[in-house]
């Protein structure tokens, strides 16, 4: 890492949950992108995820019910106050969780001093973006978008899997029931338990991303359609890597392309019930450029 080079602004990756944001981060990482030292299994930096969750809680919102967050960010005073707090956290020793020991020492604990392509992925960025742009006004944004029915189906399937896991856990240890009732999917109702609710969540995210994009500086926002990336992982991957300031060589993107599962493109077409959901929501899908 060249610590003498000038610092770079981050690349902030957003989009609805299950839209392909993890795939985008894996591509960028393959091309030299730093997404964080302590990552969750879905390529999300725990450090920034926790900050976003804190902001959501302060607004009385959560990832599957984000609507309250709009009122929270409508106040310039609110943004100023919480941006100050977040800025202090970014300059605190807690930054080690994102930077890791080597980069923490090299940058003297300053995340904004990174001189390599860097950033973080979290679908919640879709709503918390105003705070991050106040801290990093030169940041670039990558918005990942996927067909709404595929997103809804994936969200609902994940929810069912989590509920099944929690039920099995509680059956094995009845003494853990009270703890289990307070955490995980069993701890609260979720909109994504049904396809209709999950589709409504997708709509919330794409509408908010559209709203944010209109106020963002041209040339610093790239929309990535999941289907386009699957259709041409080399060509589109090079465009994405170049936008993020990474090594956009054909060799890098070709190596990544070998791991791409193109069958996930418009997966809903292989399920009659999901096709019907698409027909029911044809107008909303077409509004955002997708076929029913």
What is Dmax (Cα atoms) for the chain? 57
**Residue 196 CB neighbours (<10 A):** 14
Q: What is the pLDDT of residue 187?
A: 47
Q: Indicate the range of 126-135, 170-179, 256-265, 275-284 predicted with least confidence.
A: 170-179
Averaged pLDDT score across all residues of the chain = 91
Task: Give just the sign of the alpha carbon dihedral 45, 51, 53, 56.
Answer: negative
Tell the CATH topology of 11-287.
Rossmann fold (3.40.50)
Q: Is the pLDDT of residue 119 over 50?
A: yes
Mean pLDDT within 170-194: 65
Task: Give just the sign of the alpha carbon dihedral 131, 132, 134, 135.
Answer: positive
Q: What is the pLDDT of residue 108?
A: 94
Alpha carbon distance 96, 216 (integer Å): 30
Q: What is the pLDDT of residue 4?
A: 61
Question: Side by side, which strands form the sheet with 119-121?
Answer: 119-121, 11-14, 140-145, 221-225
Alpha carbon distance 132, 49 (integer Å): 12
Domain range annotation of the chain: 11-287
Q: Are 149 and 278 in contact (CB under 8 A)?
A: yes
Alpha carbon distance 23, 227 (integer Å): 11
Q: Is the pLDDT of residue 110 over 90?
A: yes
**pLDDT over 90 percentage in the chain:** 79
């Amino acid at each position: 890492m060249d610590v003498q080079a000038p610092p770079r602004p981050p690349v902030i990756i957003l989009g609805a949950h299950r839209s392909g944001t993890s795939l985008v981060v894996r591509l960028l990482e393959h091309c030299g992108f730093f997404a964080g030292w302590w990552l969750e299994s879905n390529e999300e930096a725990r450090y920034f995820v926790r900050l976003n969750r804190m902001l959501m809680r302060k607004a009385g919102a959560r990832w599957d019910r984000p609507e309250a967050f709009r009122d929270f960010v409508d106040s310039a005073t609110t943004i100023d106050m919480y941006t100050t707090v977040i800025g202090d956290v970014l300059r605190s020793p807690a930054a080690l969780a994102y930077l890791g020991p080597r980069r923490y020492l090299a940058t003297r604990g300053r995340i904004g001093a990174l001189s390599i392509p860097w950033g973080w992925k979290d679908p919640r960025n879709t709503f918390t973006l105003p705070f991050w742009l106040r801290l990093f006004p030169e940041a670039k944004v990558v918005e990942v978008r996927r067909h709404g029915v595929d997103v809804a189906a994936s969200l609902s399937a994940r929810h069912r899997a989590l509920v099944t896991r929690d039920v099995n856990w509680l059956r094995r240890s009845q003494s853990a029931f009270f703890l289990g009732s307070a955490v995980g999917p069993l701890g609260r109702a979720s909109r994504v338990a049904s396809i209709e609710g999950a589709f409504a969540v997708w709509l919330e995210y794409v509408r908010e991303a559209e709203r944010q994009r209109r106020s963002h500086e041209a040339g610093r926002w790239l929309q990535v359609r999941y289907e386009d990336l699957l259709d041409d992982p080399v060509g589109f991957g090079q465009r994405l890597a170049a936008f993020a300031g990474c090594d956009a060589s054909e060799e890098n993107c070709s190596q990544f392309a070998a791991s791409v599962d193109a069958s996930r493109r418009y997966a809903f077409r292989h399920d009659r019930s999901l096709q019907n959901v698409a027909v029911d929501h044809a107008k909303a899908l077409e509004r955002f450029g997708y076929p029913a």
